[in-house]
Amino acid sequence: MLTRWTLFAIPMVAACHTSMSNVDADNGNYNCAAETRADVWQIPLVKKGEQTAMQFSLVDAMPAPPIRGDNTWTLQINQMAGGVVGAPMTGASLIATPYMPDHMHGTPKVVNITAMPTAGQYQLSPVNMWMPGLWQTTINASAAGGPSDTVVYSICIPD
């Protein structure tokens, strides 16, 4: 006889399976080469914020490229005005949220953010991407009395 827990758990487990279009038929691994939504991995990985008030540069990642599990990122944030990159954004408040859009879930770990000695640099750790597939890490940044901006890094994690 099926219990209520079983009836709840079966659909939840099924929902977390990897999209079959990105699974390598030979070995069952997630095929990041077929993932068209991921950013092309490089250091630095530079992006303008959605409001173009800030430029975000992922200047270091440990390990690189990111792996399944805990990762540490160093982010450089600079002010922008009229499309021109300006001074480092010091004293910013940041929130980083890893999320798996295909499975509609995040991660159980909170990303800790620490200002680094270099002006405008922040360390994010752990950036936990605990299962294979596409992860979108949204970073919301705001400066006291200044602009706010958002960037999304899309990273594919193989098995």
Task: Average the pLDDT over 54-81 and give the result.
Answer: 97
* Mean pLDDT, rounded, for 85-97: 96
Instruction: Please give the domain boundaries of the chain with CATH numbers for all domains.
Output: 37-157 (2.60.40.3340)
What's the pLDDT score for residue 127? Answer: 98
Structure confidence at residue 22 (pLDDT): 65
> 124 near 96, Cβ under 8 Å?
yes
Q: How many CB atoms lie within 10 A of CB 6?
A: 9
Q: In what order do the strands lie in the sheet with 133-143?
A: 92-99, 133-143, 148-157
For the cut 70, the answer to whether the pLDDT of residue 15 exceeds it is no
Contact status, residue 86 vs residue 77, Cβ threshold 8 Å = no
pLDDT for residue 155 is more than 90: yes
H helix or E strand, kind and range, residue 6:
helix 4-15
Q: Does residue 157 contact residue 135 with C-beta atoms inside 8 Å?
A: yes
Confidence tier at 20 by pLDDT (50, 70, 90): very low
User: Model confidence at 62, in pLDDT bands (50, 70, 90)?
Assistant: very high
